[in-house]
Amino acid sequence: MTNRRSALALLAGTMTLGRGPLAAPAEAGAPAAYTAEDFAAGPLLRNVQLSPDGKRFAAILNKGKHSFLVTRAVAGGAFTSLLASDNLEFQFNWLRWINPQRLAVSLRYPSDRQVSEFSSADTMESRLLSVSADKPGDAVNLSRPRGEDDVVSRALQQDRVVDWLPEDGQHILLALPDTKFSQQTAVYKVHVISGARRIVQESLPRVSHWLSDAQHRVRVGIAYEQGRLTLWACDPQGQNWRALRSFGFFDERRVAPLGFGLDPNLLYLQAQHEGLWAVHTLDLSAADPQPQLKYRLPAHDLDARLLHSSRNGDALGLVTNGGAADAYVWDTELKALAERLDRALPQRQIHLQQLVADDQIYLLRTWGNGNPGEYAVGNRAQGSLTLLSEVSPQLDPARLTRKQRIEFKARDGLPLQAFLSLPRGVPGSALPLVVLPHGGPQSADTGLYDTWSAFIAARGYAVLQVNFRGSTGSGQKHLQAGLRRWGLEMQDDLEDGVAELVRRGTADPKRVAIAGSSYGGYAALMGAVKTPGLYRGAFAFAPVTDLVDLIRESENFRTMYSREAVAEQIGTLADDRARLEATSPRRQAARIEVPVVLLHGTLDRSVPFEQGQGMADALKAAGKDLRFVKQERGDHFLSHQPHRLQFFQELEGFLARVLGPGALA
């Protein structure tokens, strides 16, 4: 970070934040005239973390055009601002307390690296800072270079913490490279103030990620080579490293290690069980260890991380992306607490995020259907629960739409799940409809609050979010059904969702538009290509538009994508070129007959800006109705608040133009 040090706005100052009770959400309320600014504000607080003694918390606070790394006493008072960013030069990734006086903060920023004598690749890189919790300006780059030949400082990702060593408080274990031209890493013990480091675990072939046990010994590694991942493990003495399992990105045999409890031979990991992602244990003392089921959901993937005790490091339960907290806690006392919280805070998902102070103080994150949620701190000894902040205090849950889960079948009989948001206070029939496909495409929409669907519904439009084939959450078969099916059956699933709402009388078939970002932006443009009579317009943020160019860049190592993952997910030029050309919106621009709005950030490192620019050029050359917005220095996530505001304003104007006014009470 030395060459970017001047970019860090190290601010001293104080801020205040309102507080209030954790009240149950109201059941009814008239639609509010929320503005684009209300939704563009983003979460007031994110990445909240309690200090080890439970007396303070740190968070990223979003205020206007800037994000601030702040600390404050749990009991109240003013914030202390330690770092600030406008989210253009760099963005905050995550934060964690190292000890009661010091924080680790991960930053990310766009850059590029030479991949050959004649070409370079766009990169998104990370750096790890050690920051004083009390002294603004006291920040140390934990991977700062030591001479011109220091390979550690050349790593793209420098924030892969293997172990926080909480009993030590002065060091962490960090995965960093030990050779100049290899992706493999060693594990270093790093002093959090001086940055001094020494290797405690030598590298293994192609291993880039490591896990330690509760006794702080490096025990597990993940290697990657030519499209295959390999799980490595050793005995508690650090000897006898062996490869346990090899698998591809989308294999049924794939696993994802989560960590250890007190038993040094019992590894928790995610793996398939009857076609669904579930949590298992693996006995590393066995000659041929096989996953043993620990927790599963009856009809849905279980995606989770371990919740650890701050007292002894044991694994007490799981923190998940969905479901009631009590279903995934196996510690008896903690399970009883989770059940009490479920009863006390109805209509919310209750997630225990963190335990500190010998597990007596806990951090709670809540959210729900139509509810952006809250952060709260509980004290088990006192039986108290204190609100830190609502996530979006400018938005009243009583005035936000709630999603309805619907199920239907695709034209080939595949069962599909979707979520429907209706404008509040209006009859749910013959409504203007916005189809909102998610990105990824290996992700999924849920029944919980999300900003985009809430914004569109608040403008008076119905919103349909389909978990089309290829989405996660619905099992291995559903995931694999989307491989190499971009623009084909994946697109049909969206059309079939519209047909279902028309059949039910919910949607006006003459007023349907499609909007999305990333893969969702691709689907929006491909919808305009494939079914020109269905959609009145297409709105795309940061879309993939040319599959041929995307794969060519990957195969020539000019992107940071895995060429093997891209081949498995989308295809190869050698085998699939005709299909890829037919399903690339840029190459089919002449077939689009409806208005198109495109937005793309010039420093997007997930989908290259050239994808959006190329689509705009093709539409202009074909004489089509296009508005192209180039967001200077913008990224893939609308991190810069003025870019988020511009996005919502453009979306609002687009919908009014192609669908007419929304149905508002």
- What's the pLDDT at 274? 95
Determine whether 485 is exposed, middle or buried from the number of CB atoms within 10 Å of its CB (0-12, 13-18, 19+).
buried
The whole-number average pLDDT for the span 443-451 is: 94
- What's the pLDDT at 5? 30
Cα-to-chain-centroid distance, residue 619: 31
Eight-class DSSP state of 157 = B
Determine whether 333 is exposed, middle or buried from the number of CB atoms within 10 Å of its CB (0-12, 13-18, 19+).
exposed
Residue 337 phi, psi (nearest 5):
-65, -45
pLDDT digits (tens, 9 = 90+) for 479-505: 999 999 999 999 999 999 999 999 999
pLDDT digits (tens, 9 = 90+) for 236-266: 999 999 999 999 989 999 999 999 999 999 9
Residue 117 in this model has a pLDDT that exceeds 90:
no
Residue 619 in this model has a pLDDT that exceeds 90:
yes
**Which residue, 557, 543, 568, 516, is CA-closest to 229?**
568
Starting from the edge strand earliest in sequence, which strands make up the sheet with 171-177, in order?
A: 160-163, 171-177, 185-191, 197-201
Distance CA 161, CA 247 (A): 24
Query: Which sign does the torsion angle of CA 337, 338, 343, 348 carry?
Result: positive
Residue 492 phi, psi (nearest 5):
-60, -35
- What's the pLDDT at 554? 85
The whole-number average pLDDT for the span 273-292 is: 95
The whole-number average pLDDT for the span 184-213 is: 94
Please identify which residue in the block is written with the tokens 């928790």: 268
Distance CA 350, CA 371 (A): 12
Higher pLDDT, 135 or 29: 135
Residue 529 in this model has a pLDDT that exceeds 90:
yes
The whole-number average pLDDT for the span 553-566 is: 80
Higher pLDDT, 663 or 200: 200
Residue 32 in this model has a pLDDT that exceeds 70:
no
- What's the pLDDT at 545? 98
Residue 526 in this model has a pLDDT that exceeds 70:
yes
Peptide bond just before 441 cis, omega within 30 deg = yes
Helix, coil or strand: residue 85: strand
pLDDT band at 322; cut points 50, 70, 90:
low
The pTM assigned to this predicted structure is 0.92
- What's the pLDDT at 399? 92
Distance CA 74, CA 61 (A): 15
The whole-number average pLDDT for the span 558-567 is: 81
Residue 3 in this model has a pLDDT that exceeds 80:
no
Determine whether 475 is exposed, middle or buried from the number of CB atoms within 10 Å of its CB (0-12, 13-18, 19+).
middle
**Which residue, 664, 641, 635, 540, is CA-closest to 37?**
641
Eight-class DSSP state of 326 = G
Helices then strands, counting H and E runs in the chain, come out as: 11, 35
Distance CA 531, CA 2 (A): 52
The residues pairing with 409 across neighbouring beta strands, listed in sequence order, are 415
Among 211-220, 269-278, 314-323, the range scoring the smallest mean pLDDT is 314-323
Distance CA 127, CA 108 (A): 7
pLDDT digits (tens, 9 = 90+) for 229-244: 999 999 999 999 999 9
Residue 363 in this model has a pLDDT that exceeds 70:
yes
- What's the pLDDT at 560? 67
Residue 55 phi, psi (nearest 5):
-90, -25
- What's the pLDDT at 24? 41
pLDDT digits (tens, 9 = 90+) for 58-113: 999 999 999 999 999 999 999 999 999 999 999 999 999 999 999 999 999 999 88
Distance CA 463, CA 454 (A): 9
Tokens read off for 22 = 């954790």
pLDDT band at 325; cut points 50, 70, 90:
low
The whole-number average pLDDT for the span 117-127 is: 85
- What's the pLDDT at 348? 86
The whole-number average pLDDT for the span 146-168 is: 86
Residue 440 phi, psi (nearest 5):
120, -90
Distance CA 113, CA 503 (A): 52
Task: Name the strand (E) or helix (H) holding 120.
Answer: strand 120-132
Distance CA 276, CA 310 (A): 31
pLDDT band at 180; cut points 50, 70, 90:
low
Instruction: Report the 3 state secondary structure along 1-45.
Output: CHHHHHHCECCCCEECCCCCCCCCCCCCCCCCCCCHHHHHCCCCE
- What's the pLDDT at 28? 42
- What's the pLDDT at 9? 28
Q: Which residues are within 8 A (CB) of 135 and not within 5 positions of it... i.e. 6 or more apart?
A: none
- What's the pLDDT at 555? 82
Average pLDDT, the chain: 91
Distance CA 231, CA 546 (A): 35
The whole-number average pLDDT for the span 338-342 is: 89
Distance CA 367, CA 355 (A): 19
pLDDT digits (tens, 9 = 90+) for 594-614: 999 999 999 999 999 999 999
DSSP labels, 343-388 = HHSTTSEEEEEEEETTTTEEEEEEEETTEEEEEEEEETTTTEEEEE
Distance CA 75, CA 480 (A): 49
Ordered by start, the domain boundaries in the chain are 401-543+641-658
User: Beta-strand (E) ranges in 542-664?
Assistant: 596-601, 626-631
Task: Name the strand (E) or helix (H) holding 99.
Answer: strand 91-99
- What's the pLDDT at 182? 65
Q: What is the CATH number of domain 401-543+641-658?
A: 3.40.50.1820
Residue 381 in this model has a pLDDT that exceeds 60:
yes
Determine whether 468 is exposed, middle or buried from the number of CB atoms within 10 Å of its CB (0-12, 13-18, 19+).
buried
The Cα diameter of the chain in Å comes to 69
Q: What is the helix, strand, coil percentage profile of the chain, to 5? A: 20, 35, 45
- What's the pLDDT at 27? 42
The whole-number average pLDDT for the span 306-325 is: 84
pLDDT digits (tens, 9 = 90+) for 466-477: 999 999 999 999
Question: Are β-strands 315-320 and 304-308 bridged in parallel, bridged antiparallel, or unpaired?
Answer: antiparallel
Report how far apart, in Å, the C-alpha atoms of 599 and of each of 64, 357, 540, 550, 646 are. Answer: 22, 47, 6, 18, 9
Among 297-301, 431-435, 591-595, the range scoring the smallest mean pLDDT is 297-301
Among 141-150, 184-193, 425-434, the range scoring the smallest mean pLDDT is 141-150
Helix, coil or strand: residue 475: coil
With a pLDDT cut of 70, the percent of the chain lying above it is 92
Distance CA 296, CA 298 (A): 7
106 and 95 Cβ atoms separated by less than 8 Å: yes
pLDDT digits (tens, 9 = 90+) for 383-394: 999 999 999 999
